[in-house]
């Protein structure tokens, strides 16, 4: 395929199933010719204004840093680009790569970044982004011109201060490399070098008239770059009728059957995806038996190597067995529950994190629960589980409880773990806060706990879950005031004030102290939840059926017309609610670009604690470009 300067063969901006434009994220990745420059409206700023003025749901992230070359860029590529799950990435480097620092003592004789390294870095950026499904726009560096200051710094070999093109002697080859790479990789090319030269010729002026200081585009220069990019970005936008809903289908599968109460009722089936030794995806599940309210058996593990069609027999994890409580002689035992596994790609291990729970004999020691805290075990690449460890937090605010039980977490690019705590010095009025934890492949430790959010109703705020969507962290929170809550943060520590979950018409959802979890697709954010409905008015805490709906990220509400049942209520939730299996403790997992799962352990607390383990397969109409690990 021959690459033309302005080419687009696919639609750039999609419309969501709700009829609203989903947020389309553009990252401008470059050096000081991209970076913000005081009051000068650079091209990224101009793009953002262009789309905002037209009511388009587009965010433009300026990831330009002055002085950067592609070696610097490679070190921040994951954090500054991939972490935003971009739809489009604009890449422009070269001026700093090609520079020879002849002003140093002794003078340099070679470019800061050799051409082969420059090409390798650019190729890595492009190849990686294409694998995620992002659209890549390569831009050539803008041409350079001499100023007296630049001649004083660079006016010696290999440069030629007597020639107008004398500051280009090396950069021209790097510019040619960008053109060749765009053609080789079949990506869009915006040839800034040629655009500037053509504009100067047409205006009967010079390239200097497009530069601030011989190196950086001025107002007119950024106008030209913006115009060229908009020719690409504004072309071939589909009409809303051309776009399928993101959720193509939902199907139900029974993994373990115990509706007849003949065997074990498994509970808390929570899954993470990890690579097997052959690189193929493996689903690892933690689950445990339930035999009463908060009375759980030991945590087990099971795995599937065929995307959930078959599962191995559950095997106990010794770390989450029951141990005598030190200093007690009355038979009080400490176990684990609410465990969520998560693959940590930087160390090729799995962190299974839950919290401690105390038992006496065959009963949950409801009146003898000691301080509650997070416990975890680590699964190595060889499949071995560590001993039980405590995630320590020496803060009196967590004197009664601090925990991440049942919570979704995010692995950050640097390997730290983004999570959230519910905590409090007493049983009532618990708070939630964002947490950054360090992890070295064996031990998890608290790094930072952010400012808390509050709710002074009942036990307060409970079971927070965190995800990352389009450059922001999102937290959904269980509460005891018949509401659920959502909050947003840029850094995962400092959260904006929570707001209650409501529909897009402003009507709040009736939620009865039950967890919610995120279903995150690269093109849309969804919530999975339970709520009050005419069909379940007498079901305990309205914990059946399970629903999902798409989130409006601007208004932070649910779009009513996108609501669907994930797993249906079975039975009569009005006249015979005790025969309805509850599904309030569930998990959400992305398992492939084409499919996500909701897993849940049913149970009937007033009918022999029986129930099945269910898996809902959510098939996507468009590939999910979020990484599995």
For residue 182, the surrounding DSSP H or E stretch is helix 171-185
d(CA 385, CA 137): 45
CATH fold, domain 24-241, is Rossmann fold (3.40.50)
φ and ψ at residue 355, rounded to 5 degrees: -150, 165
pLDDT tens digits, 332-357: 999 999 999 999 999 999 999 999 99
DSSP letters of 253-309?
Answer: EEEE--TTSSS--EEEEEEEEEE-TTS-EEEEEEEEEEEETTEEEEEEEEEESSTTS
pLDDT bracket for residue 234 (50, 70, 90):
low
Predicted pLDDT at 415 = 93
Nearest of 601, 609, 599, 547 to residue 578 by alpha carbon: 609
Nearest of 314, 319, 289 to residue 304 by alpha carbon: 314
- Cβ(246)–Cβ(562) below 8 Å: no
- Average pLDDT taken over every residue of the chain: 91
Lowest pLDDT segment from 17-31, 65-79, 230-244, 394-408: 230-244
What's the first-to-final CA gap in the chain, in angstroms?
Answer: 32
pLDDT bracket for residue 22 (50, 70, 90):
low
Predicted pLDDT at 5 = 34
**Beta strands at 389-390 and 374-379: parallel, antiparallel or unpaired:** antiparallel
CATH 3.40.50.1110 positions along the chain are 24-241
d(CA 465, CA 518): 7
Q: Quick check: 20 pLDDT over 50?
A: no
**Beta strands at 188-190 and 135-139: parallel, antiparallel or unpaired:** parallel
pLDDT tens digits, 58-114: 999 999 999 999 999 999 999 999 999 999 999 999 999 999 999 999 999 999 999
Share of the chain above pLDDT 70, in %: 95
Predicted pLDDT at 53 = 85
- Cβ(302)–Cβ(313) below 8 Å: yes
pLDDT tens digits, 169-219: 999 999 999 999 998 888 889 999 999 998 888 778 899 999 999 999 999
pTM metric for this prediction: 0.69
Nearest of 233, 237, 236 to residue 90 by alpha carbon: 233
pLDDT tens digits, 538-594: 999 999 999 999 999 989 999 999 999 999 999 999 999 999 999 999 999 999 999
pLDDT bracket for residue 369 (50, 70, 90):
confident
């Amino acid at each position: 395929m021959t690459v033309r300067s302005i080419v687009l063969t696919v639609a750039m901006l999609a419309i969501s199933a709700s009829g609203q434009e989903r947020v389309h994220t553009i990252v401008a990745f470059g050096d000081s010719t991209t970076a913000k420059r005081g009051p000068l409206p650079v091209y990224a700023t101009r793009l953002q204004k262009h789309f905002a003025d037209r009511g388009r749901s587009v965010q433009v992230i300026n990831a330009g840093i002055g002085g950067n070359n592609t070696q610097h860029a490679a070190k921040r590529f994951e954090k500054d680009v991939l972490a935003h799950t971009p739809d489009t990435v604009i890449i422009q480097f070269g001026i700093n790569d090609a520079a020879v620092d002849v002003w140093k003592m002794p003078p340099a004789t070679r470019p800061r970044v050799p051409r082969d390294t420059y090409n390798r870095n650019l190729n890595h950026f492009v190849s990686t982004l294409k694998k995620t499904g992002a659209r890549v726009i390569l831009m050539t560096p803008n041409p350079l011109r001499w100023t007296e200051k630049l001649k004083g710094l660079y006016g010696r070999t290999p440069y030629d201060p007597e020639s107008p093109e004398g500051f280009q002697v090396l950069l021209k080859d790097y510019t040619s490399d960008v053109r060749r790479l765009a053609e080789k990789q079949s990506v869009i090319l915006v040839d800034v070098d040629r655009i500037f030269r053509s504009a100067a010729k047409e205006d009967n002026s010079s390239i200097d008239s497009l530069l601030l200081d011989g190196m950086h585009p001025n107002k007119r220069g950024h106008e030209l770059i913006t115009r060229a990019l908009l020719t690409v970005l504004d072309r071939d936008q589909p009409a809303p009728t051309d776009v399928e809903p993101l959720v193509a289908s939902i199907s139900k599968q029974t993994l373990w059957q115990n509706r007849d109460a003949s065997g074990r009722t498994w509970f808390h089936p929570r899954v993470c995806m990890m690579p097997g030794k052959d690189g193929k995806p493996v689903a690892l599940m933690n689950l445990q038996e339930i035999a009463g309210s908060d009375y759980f058996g030991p945590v087990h593990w099971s795995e599937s190597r065929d995307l959930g069609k078959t599962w191995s027999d559950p095997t106990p994890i010794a770390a989450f067995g029951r141990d005598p409580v030190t200093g007690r002689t009355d038979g009080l035992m400490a176990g684990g529950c609410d465990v969520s596994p998560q693959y940590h790609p930087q160390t090729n291990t799995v962190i299974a994190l839950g919290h401690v729970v105390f038992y006496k004999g065959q009963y949950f020691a409801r009146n003898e629960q000691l301080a509650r805290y997070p416990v975890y075990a680590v699964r190595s690449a060889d499949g071995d589980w560590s001993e039980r460890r405590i995630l320590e937090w020496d803060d009196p605010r967590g004197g009664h409880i601090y925990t991440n039980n049942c919570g979704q977490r995010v692995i950050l690019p640097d390997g730290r773990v983004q999570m959230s705590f519910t905590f409090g010095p007493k049983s009532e009025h618990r708070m939630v806060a964002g947490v950054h934890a360090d992890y070295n492949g064996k031990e998890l430790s608290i790094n930072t706990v952010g400012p808390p959010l509050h709710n002074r109703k009942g036990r307060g705020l409970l079971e927070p879950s965190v995800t990352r969507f389009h450059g922001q962290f999102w937290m959904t929170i269980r509460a005891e005031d018949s509401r659920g809550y959502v909050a947003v943060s840029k850094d995962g520590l400092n959260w904006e004030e929570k707001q209650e979950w409501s529909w897009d018409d402003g009507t709040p959802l009736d939620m009865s102290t039950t967890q919610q979890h995120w279903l995150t697709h690269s093109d849309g954010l969804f919530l999975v939840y339970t709520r009050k409905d005419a069909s379940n008015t007498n079901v305990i805490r309205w914990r059946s059926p399970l629903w999902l709906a798409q989130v409006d990220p601007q208004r932070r509400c649910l779009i009513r017309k996108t609501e669907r049942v994930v797993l249906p209520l079975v039975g009569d939730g009005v006249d015979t609610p005790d025969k309805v299996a509850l599904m309030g403790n569930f998990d959400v997992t992305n398992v492939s670009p084409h499919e996500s799962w909701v897993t849940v352990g049913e149970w009937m607390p007033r009918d022999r604690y029986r129930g099945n383990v269910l898996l809902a397969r959510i098939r996507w109409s468009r590939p999910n470009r979020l990484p599995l690990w």
